[in-house]
Structure 1
Amino acid sequence: MTSPTVDVHAHILIPEIEALVAGLPGLAEARELDARRNGPAALAVSGPMVGERVPRLTDTAVRLAAMDKQGVDIQLISPSPSHYHYWADENTADKVYRTANEMTAAHCAAAPGRLYGLGLAPLQHPGQAVHALDHALERGLLGVEISSHAPGRELSDPAYEPFWSRAEETGAVVFLHPFGCTLDERLDRWYLSNTVGQPAENAVALSHLIFSGVLDRYPGLKLIAAHGGGYLPTHIGRSDHAWSARTDAGAGCAQPPSSYLKRIHFDSLVHDPRVLSSLIDVAGADRVLLGSDFPFDMGTEDPVGALRAARLSTTDFDAVRGGNAVALLRLARPQRGGTP
């Protein structure tokens, strides 16, 4: 039986989260930082772009119709990264992740077998991360989405060890999706905040997980990196060289950095068939999953077509299109039949 087509990078917008943080101390400062990082020209485009896509981000019927048009059988839905709100205090963070988990679960429940979801974990409060993960799993979600860092903390921070341990123990998915780039105003024009910033943040976050030994300690972790892992997979040779040439670079992980790419899953959203082919070469066809960033403008309206452009073998094409996700997420085939 042909595997369903599975998109692991799709989002939901949750107005209830923005309502509960409205007017709280810290929100205005966070938005000012976001505005400086993106620049006025980007904000002028992003606002109307998101507004036009609200129905696809909130209405299950509209989402399913768009999926049918794309030839996508199943989506793994994660909250818009704009909902992270890592500036929030513990009480607010608790409300944010609970709302995110509950609303995402409700959205997916409207289309069982076709929609699966991820919740949120507040990285700014490491002690809450395990509770947030458990809360998500209890509501039928498959794991949680996190950013590339929290204020003052990298993903290599020892405070996150209980979170990684719990994620491995439960078989939960952790979807690494950056939001914002700490290069700040250097990227405040031409949408460099996204085109350069997101791949850079992916590379930094994954490097912290690799070089610190997190992936040695939790080899069963189900980690999916958005945007094809950013710059790291195509420049992993430099990391390998540092690991072998310098004692400081090689002190934290047991194997060359490139070997850990085969322990990470990556989405296919790289916007270049040559880069996608390179990603598959270094990580393995069994480690790449179809991703579209539905429905944002930096995604693709035709994820299967973008995958086909890489001219993979039939076996690899089918694996990336859906077979790998079915195995990783332990999915059943949805009621909708047929794939492109």
Structure 2
Amino acid sequence: MTALDYKAIDVDNHYYEPLDAFTRHLDRKFRRRGVQIVRDGKYHTAIIGDRVNRFIPNPTFDPIIVPGCLDLIFRGQVPEGVDPATLMKVESLELRPEYRERDARVAVVDKQGIETIFLFPTFGCGVEEALRGDIEATMASLHAFNLWLDEDWGFDRADGRVVAAPMISLSDPQAAVAEVEFVLARGARLVHVRPAPVPGVGRARSLGDRAHDPVWARLAEANVPVAFHLGDSGYLKIAAMWGGKDTFEPFGGPGDALDKILVDDRAIHDTMASLIIHGVFDRHPALRVASIENGSDFVGRLCKRMTKLANQSPKSFPNDPVDALREHVWVAPYYEDDLPRLAETIGVERILFGSDWPHGEGLEEPVAFTDELTGFDAADVRKILRDNALEYLGAPVTASAR
């Protein structure tokens, strides 16, 4: 790894939620409509709504796999003759405290050469889709989760080392505004919105539907950006149309390869298209958003498609849609992506560094991301590893201590 004379900002870190993350503060009237963790002997199963949910097959996360152990699989570089399953290494000790405790995590972050991390859910990324048929339970469950998150990790701490992103559902537009006000009052510096169509009564809505404008307006006014992190976006319904399964079980085995081809990064592609084409950035020019852990291949396809559409129907586009993407959207690519190509498409100033630590598909040592940046000069490397994240947060770009 290249030695740095500054500390990086890692925009893609995770915690492993305790079993009561969605129930500790849940209104009792929703206890059978929200998340339930049922124990059968030594095993635990998640029931969300009225169905068993296997988004995370082991909700205790004990045991858990070693950070970065799946690197070769996700690079597509498994040596010939090696069974990919043998690369999955399980930690030999109990769940590490840094996976669930803030102070322990900050100590690890110090050793990793990182100044600030953005924290996202693991189990939580599958809950909104599982509750899509019960909007009231969705809003109550995410509110309970945000109470837990602030209690255990804190939205706003004086040291600025951990930026934990509360989850906002837009399913109930009025309740969404109230939740935004709630997390802002507690010091949230960014919010996490699912990259997916918004569930509604009768039919779903685009993220660009004007019903959501009060949320976007309030976040823009507060100078608080939005992160769209990979999760269950409900897109396996597309795979089901081709005979595949319709439930997202990322840790449930290899699955059907066709499912991966059919779904791939369609959710984030469509999410950004909905925001741009339905005019969110035209109406809220101060709003900033980021794609986290969705890869970056979608960017080139989306730019090409929007350019063609704008040429075909210029009256539908008061502003250049590609310019809107380049101005308002930051992207945290997979480390194995074609990063120079991404820089050519949206500008190096819009690329963020995320390690996905401590997940097995991420990097064992987060700052090893520098090994993927050999095509960039030192100034651009610093932008990717640090300065771009500060601009995305709306914070001043300043020097950092070693």
**Which TM-score tier does this pair reach, normalised by the shorter chain?**
0.7 to 0.9
Aligned to 2:80: none
TM-aligned CA distance change 1:329 to 1:206, over 3 Å: same
TM-aligned CA distance change 1:314 to 1:117, over 3 Å: same
Provide the secondary structure at the position in 2 that maps to 1:153: coil
Deviates more, 1:188-197 or 1:306-315: 188-197
TM-aligned CA distance change 1:207 to 1:94, over 3 Å: closer
Aligned to 1:253: 317
2:218 pairs, out of 166, 172, 177, with 166
Q: Which amino acid aligns with 1:144?
A: V
2 CA distance for matches of 1:141 and 1:288? Answer: 22
Q: How many residues align?
A: 329
Does the CA-based 8 Å contact 2:195-2:268 persist in structure 1? yes
Provide the secondary structure at the position in 2 that maps to 1:10: strand
1:17 pairs, out of 21, 34, 41, with 21
After TM superposition, give the deviation of residue 290 of structure 1 in Å: 1.4
Aligned to 1:123: 170
After TM superposition, give the deviation of residue 298 of structure 1 in Å: 2.9
1 CA distance for matches of 2:57 and 2:187? Answer: 35
Deviates more, 1:219-228 or 1:1-10: 1-10
1:183 pairs, out of 236, 242, 247, with 236
1 CA distance for matches of 2:96 and 2:387? Answer: 30
* 1:134-213 alignment, distance < 5 Å: 134-149=181-196, 150-151=198-199, 152-180=204-232, 181-184=234-237, 185-186=239-240, 188=245, 190=254, 197=263, 199-213=265-279
Provide the secondary structure at the position in 2 that maps to 1:289: coil
Q: Which amino acid aligns with 1:278?
A: R
Query: Is there any run of 5+ residues in structure 1 with no aligned partner, and where?
Result: none
**So what's the TM-score if we normalise by structure 1?**
0.80
1 CA distance for matches of 2:264 and 2:21? Answer: 23
2 CA distance for matches of 1:264 and 1:156? Answer: 14
Q: Which amino acid aligns with 2:10?
A: D
Deviates more, 1:51-60 or 1:173-182: 51-60
Aligned to 2:281: 215
**Structure 1 vs Structure 2: percent identity of aligned residues?**
20
2 CA distance for matches of 1:194 and 1:32? Answer: 24
Does the CA-based 8 Å contact 1:56-1:295 persist in structure 2? no
After TM superposition, give the deviation of residue 331 of structure 1 in Å: 4.9
Does the CA-based 8 Å contact 2:22-2:145 persist in structure 1? no
2 CA distance for matches of 1:232 and 1:279? Answer: 10
After TM superposition, give the deviation of residue 315 of structure 1 in Å: 0.8
1 CA distance for matches of 2:216 and 2:133? Answer: 22
TM-aligned CA distance change 1:45 to 1:11, over 3 Å: closer
TM-aligned CA distance change 1:68 to 1:326, over 3 Å: same
Larger Rg: 2
After TM superposition, give the deviation of residue 115 of structure 1 in Å: 1.1
The Cα RMSD (Å) is 3.6
Aligned to 1:132: 179
Q: Which amino acid aligns with 2:381?
A: F
Provide the secondary structure at the position in 2 that maps to 1:73: strand
Q: Which amino acid aligns with 1:138?
A: A
After TM superposition, give the deviation of residue 263 of structure 1 in Å: 2.0
Query: Is there any run of 5+ residues in structure 2 with no aligned partner, and where?
Result: 37-46, 66-89, 246-252
Provide the secondary structure at the position in 1 that maps to 2:265: helix
1 CA distance for matches of 2:359 and 2:220? Answer: 30
Provide the secondary structure at the position in 1 that maps to 2:357: coil
Does the CA-based 8 Å contact 2:293-2:332 persist in structure 1? yes
* Deviations, residues 108-145 of structure 1 (Å, cap 9, x unaligned): 36783211222111222122111111111111111310
Does the CA-based 8 Å contact 1:119-1:133 persist in structure 2? no
Aligned to 1:98: 143
After TM superposition, give the deviation of residue 213 of structure 1 in Å: 1.5
TM-aligned CA distance change 1:222 to 1:240, over 3 Å: closer
Deviates more, 1:324-333 or 1:4-13: 324-333
Q: Which amino acid aligns with 1:17?
A: A
* 1:57-96 alignment, distance < 5 Å: 57-80=99-122, 81-84=125-128, 86-87=131-132, 89=134, 91-96=136-141
Q: Which amino acid aligns with 1:71?
A: G
TM-aligned CA distance change 1:26 to 1:71, over 3 Å: closer
TM-aligned CA distance change 1:329 to 1:190, over 3 Å: same
TM-aligned CA distance change 1:223 to 1:198, over 3 Å: farther
